[in-house]
Amino acid sequence: MPVQTIASTASVELGPAAALSCRECGERFDLGPIFACTSCFGPLEIAYELPQGDPEELRRRIEAGPESIWRYAPLLPVPADVAGKPNLNPGFTKLVKADNLARELGVTGELFVKDDSGNPTHSFKDRVVAIAVEAARAFGFTTLSCSSTGNLAGAVGAAAARAGLRSCVFIPHDLEQGKVVMAAVYGGQLVGIEGNYDAVNRFCSELIGDPLGEGWGFVNVNLRPYYAEGSKTLAYEICEQLGWRLPDQIVIPIASGSQLTKIDKGLQELIALGLVEDRPYKIFGAQAEGCSPVSAAFKAGHDVVRPVKPDTIAKSLAIGNPADGPYVLDIARRTGGAVEDVTDEQIVDAIKLLARTEGIFAETAGGVTVGVTRKLIEAGVLDPSLTTVVLNTGDGLKTLDAVAPTTGPTATIRPSLDAFRDAGLAL
Ligand SMILES: *Cc1c(COP(=O)(O)O)cnc(C)c1O
Ligand SMILES: [Zn+2]
């Protein structure tokens, strides 16, 4: 396994992060830019020394913090003074009470949309990148990089620009124009790879092992253990915004599955710290039918995920070989949730449903979660009488192609009242 250590990691100061630990065998390693266990090749994750003591005091400290993910700095692998450094201050996005959508879906309990399109580059990826930037700084990396299905490229480009780092990001060559432009505009290097995301990812793994990639922090590869922790902030925010209460059910999109597993980790931490009451919650995973390896494994009762070749309009979720797939299966089964998928047509319908009922224009990933929510309610799997949170992780302006063919002006007319009347437009 390639290991690059630019700065000495002995003095790494990343707040409550104590070590890296293997998710398979538990072996511990010093904090550094490594991501796989040298004994069993299992993925590494951050082990913490979390704040002990009075939950009330911690709750007050969080509530007095900045209106960004940095209010949770005591629970993240970041230096204590992180909020004062040049970064994009993502997070603390709206938790929208979606009463109109609830009515349409037959939800009698509370339904919320956690709307992460409100982040600086309009997707949830700003959360994970912000944490990775701190790790990159701590390890002395000078170039920020990633393999991306689109949103990550923009988030890395923007974060690097703000932090004063170089960036070079890699994407499949055939992404949506909105995502390509967004990834390029921040001025770093953007490289289109002739292949799908899984090919891009393989290429990046090679680059990490090569002198060409020296000094490069790949946020979702060699910085992955740090990056992944950013998703915990979704769990923290949802609970805080519910008045320090766990939701009963959460519907989360799955690409690599990292976000879903870390939301679960975040909820577990809040319970362990006494910040929320310890009671059951169910986690539901959502995929597009055209890239549904985790959903297929869940339905078949398998523990392993068989890779697929993605073919869906939900390109931000188009990872055919999801690294965290088996952990997602564990979590869905342990919590009594499920993993389900919807067709491209159902995704488009769901995007329009959310827009029409709540005024939220989601990207295709949001269409996936709303569509899966609808499907699971109809199937009697999701309980409509409980408190449910559905994630919208990105902005519809980046995936206009998905809805453009079936969405447009009601009419185009001459600028006259007669024309307006004749066209039957009076409401
Ligand atoms: C990256 C991404 C996700 C989730 O990705 P994971 O790899 O499963 O963590 C969800 N929605 C959008 C819009 C994304 O860009
Ligand atoms: Zn191991």
Going by the DSSP 8-state scheme, the letter that residue 360 receives in this structure is: -
Ligand 1: which of 113, 131, 146, 151 to mutate, judged by most atoms within 8 Å of the beta carbon?
Answer: 151
Q: Going along 256-335, which residue ranges are E strands?
A: 282-288
Atom of ligand 1 nearest to the CA of 364: 13
Q: Which residue has the tokens 């250590």?
A: 5
The rounded Å distance from CA 123 to ligand 1 centre is: 9
Q: Which ligand is nearest to the CA of 43?
A: 2
Cβ neighbourhood burial of 179 (10 Å; 0-12, 13-18, 19+): buried
Mutate to test the pocket of ligand 1, among 114, 115, 125 (most ligand atoms within 8 A of CB): 125
Phi then psi for 320, rounded to 5 degrees? -80, -20
| Ligand 1-lining residues (CB < 6 angstroms) | 123-125, 151, 253-259, 316, 363, 365, 393-394
Please, are residues 113 and 93 in contact by the beta-carbon 8 Å criterion?
no
Which residues make up the environment of ion ligand 2, defined by Cβ < 5 Å?
Answer: 22, 24-25, 27, 37, 39-40, 42
pLDDT at 1: 42
Average pLDDT, the chain: 95
The span from the CA of 222 to the CA of 261, in Å, is 18
Nearest to residue 17, comparing CAs of 238, 269, 263, 267?
269
DSSP secondary structure, 52-119, as one string: PS-HHHHHHHHHTS-SSGGGGGGGSSS-TTGGGSSS------EEEE-HHHHHHHT--S-EEEEEGGGS
Name the residue at shortest CA distance from atom 7 of ligand 1.
256
CA–centroid distance, residue 1 to ligand 2 (Å): 13
Q: Which ligand is nearest to the CA of 220?
A: 1
pLDDT of residue 9: 53
> For 67, what's the count of Cα atoms within 13 Å in the CB-facing half-sphere?
5
| Whether 37 contacts 24, CB under 8 Å | yes
The pick from 151, 317, 361, 363 for probing ligand 1's pocket by mutation, whose C-beta has the most ligand atoms within 8 angstroms, reads 317
pTM of the model: 0.95
- What are residue 253's DSSP bridge partners? 286
- Scored b (16 or more CB within 10 A) or e, 143-152 reads bbbbbbbbbb
Amino acid identity at 192: G
* Rg value, the chain, Cα: 21
Q: How far is the CA of 20 from the centre of ligand 2 (A)?
A: 11
| CATH topology (fold) of 17-52+125-227 | Rossmann fold (3.40.50)
Residue with CA nearest ligand 1 atom 4: 255
CA atoms within a 13 Å half-sphere pointing along the CA-CB vector of 352: 13
Report how far ligand 2's centroid is from the alpha carbon of 408 (Å).
53
Domain pair 17-52+125-227 / 98-122+231-406, same fold: yes
Separation of alpha carbons 339 and 318, rounded Å = 16
Element (H, E) at 144: strand 143-147
Using DSSP's 3-state secondary structure scheme, residue 241 falls into helix
Which CATH number is associated with domain 98-122+231-406?
3.40.50.1100
Q: Are 230 and 129 in contact (CB under 8 A)?
A: yes
* CA neighbor of 128 nearest in space, from 153, 154, 166, 155: 155
Neighbouring CB atoms inside 10 A of 254's CB total 32
The predicted pLDDT at position 12 comes to 84
pLDDT of residue 10: 53
Q: Where are the domains of the chain?
A: 17-52+125-227, 98-122+231-406
Strands 216-218 and 189-193: unpaired
Q: In what order do the strands lie in the sheet with 28-29?
A: 28-29, 17-22, 44-48
In the predicted model, residues of the chain with pLDDT beneath 70 are 1-10
